[in-house]
Amino acid sequence: MKKTISKIEKLDTFAQRNIDDLFEISDEVIMAEIEEENIDAEEIVISVKQSYENAKSVVGKSRLAAARKNLDQEILAPTSPMKPVVNIETARKFLNKIKDENNSLSKDITLAARNLDNLSDAEILSIYSDFIELGVFDEGYSE
């Protein structure tokens, strides 16, 4: 079976061969070519370093842009509102039952939690959902 080689693999092979050739050339041969062609070696070194730093900057900026894009997508992604797993009366009744059956609990919980009647429906449903998440009872609990 004949294996097809992609353009990227061909380019990679070409680049690797050129790099290997460069490493095989002695420093003396390279310096002789530089002198023969009247090239300023220091200028080349500075140019290569600048190119490398520019490439690092471009890569860094593209990574930052990608990270920002992902973060923006997460922020803008619609979130599903907390759906009540039970009607509010059942949730209030359940939480009051827990509070009433655990007198020692009343000492340990916050003032807001002790005064369940003063909490909004959303807060009650949130506490009720927390109990479900903690595994205190199964979803859809009712008496």
> Same domain, yes or no, for 101 and 55?
no
pLDDT score of 143 more than 80: no
Give the integer Cα–Cα distance in Å for 43 and 45: 5
Tell whether 142 is covered by a domain: no
Domain of 31 in residue numbering reads as 7-76
> Same domain, yes or no, for 30 and 52?
yes
Please name the amino acid found at residue 32. A
Give the integer Cα–Cα distance in Å for 37 and 133: 75
pLDDT tens, residue by residue, 69-85: 988 888 877 665 555 45
For the full predicted model, state whether its pTM sits above 0.85.
no
> Same domain, yes or no, for 14 and 67?
yes
Count of domains for the chain: 2
| The residue to which tokens 């790099």 are assigned | 19
> Same domain, yes or no, for 71 and 123?
no
pLDDT band at residue 141 under the 50/70/90 scheme? low
Q: Which of 54, 76, 98 is the last residue of a domain?
A: 76
Question: Phi/psi of residue 52, each to 5°?
Answer: -65, -45
> Same domain, yes or no, for 95 and 69?
no
Token output for 122: 């959303």
Token output for 21: 């050739």
